[in-house]
Chains A and B, each alone.
Chain A
Amino acid sequence: MAMTATIGQALADPHHLGRALEHPGPAPKRIVTGFGFWIFLLSDIVMFSCFFASYAVLLDQTADGPKGSEIFDQKSVALETVFLLLSSFTCGLAGIAADVRNRLWFYAAMAVTCVLGLAFLSIEFREFADLVGRGYGPSRSAFLTAFFTLVGCHGLHVSAGILWLLTMVAQVFAKGFRADILRRMMCFALFWHALDIIWVAVFSVVYLLGSAP
């Protein structure tokens, strides 16, 4: 009898912190969902790290094609960076508005986020179209292949993010701030912020380091 009581205590307080509690049960759904999505985002970042590694390895393999310093336009990259950073900020505001269930601010912040994201995408698309038009497409050299894969993959993520943004607005419009909708909104905000973190690495490694002569 005394034996089972000791085992019970050890199970309830395995690290002897002196605060044995009865079984606390599973974590709330919001925490489980958020943590699971966080794991997905980290695996996404690991995938991007492979593209970064191939870019770093293939940086000098230009096959007599253009080098980074000849094709990168720092002004448009700076503009893209500012747009994405501001959209990350407004996305955070949209998350706060959703938490306090303020529809007006939620729609406004999501609309601004969407416009800034589209502005980012249009600049990137123009850059790609310009490069391909000059004959510097992804098939020109290994360096350009790595460049288009890395930056294009980020652009695809942003495009998917904008589609997700629109469905979030539609869901809030149709169903209101229900608990499951708020969980999806939390995941969307995490996704959008993570894209901005990856962009920080992209503009630093690809555009700033890559444009060194």
Chain B
Amino acid sequence: MSELHDLLEPGDVAPGDESEHSVRIRVLGYVVGLGLALLLTATSFFIAGTSLVWQPSIPVAIIVLAIAQMGVHLVFFLHITTGPDNANNVLALAFGLLIVFLVVGGSVWIMSNLNQNMPAMDQIMQMQTRG
């Protein structure tokens, strides 16, 4: 009955736990994750200091590389997958990300808007002396 139950209903898996149990495969997963993360880190640090690429593209590239590396960490180290047994973990993560983007994006948006419409006192003085 229990085998049939496992077959029919994949159930849940704790975050950080994996489905397969062979030690070799599990270690291999961490090695692949480490390799990818090192590669992305090295690219980030290289891009930040290089003059080879168009300069305004550098911040975008660093952010994209950072998000990619967080994805690598989530998949290979925390074992958050798209499988049905991981649905609860992914939903919690999605909600957390929503809050993070609201907080960071909202703060940056509002404060830059305020800076434009209500310049700080020293900036007003500068404008007055220039005019």
Interface residues of A (CB under 8 A from B): 19, 21, 24, 27, 30-31, 33-35, 37-39, 42-43, 45-46, 49-50, 52-54, 56-57, 74, 78, 81-82, 85-86, 88-89, 92-93, 95-96, 100, 186, 189-190, 193-194, 196-197, 200-201, 203-205, 208-209, 211-212
Contact = CB atoms under 8 A, between A and B. Distances in A.
B49 interface: yes
Given A21-B5, A57-B107, A193-B78, A35 B88 contact: yes
Contact of A42 (B48, B77, B93): B93
Given A82-B41, A96-B23, 5 more contacts: A33-B14, A34-B17, A193-B78, A200-B73, A204-B65
Interface residues of B, number: 50
B8 interface: yes
A210 to B, nearest CB: 10
B14 A193 contact: no
A204 B62 contact: yes
A38 B11 CA distance: 17
Given A35-B88, A42-B92, A85-B38, A49 B100 contact: yes
Given A21-B5, A49-B104, A30 B17 contact: yes
A86 B107 CA distance: 33
B83 interface: no
Contacts of B74: 197
B69 A200 contact: yes
Contacts, number: 137
A196 B8 contact: no
Given A96-B26, A194-B78, A205 B66 contact: yes
A186 B48 contact: no
B111 interface: yes
A88 B77 contact: yes
A197 B73 contact: yes
Of listed A27, A35, A42, residue having the most chain B CB within 10 A: A42
Given A33-B14, A186-B16, A74 B70 contact: no
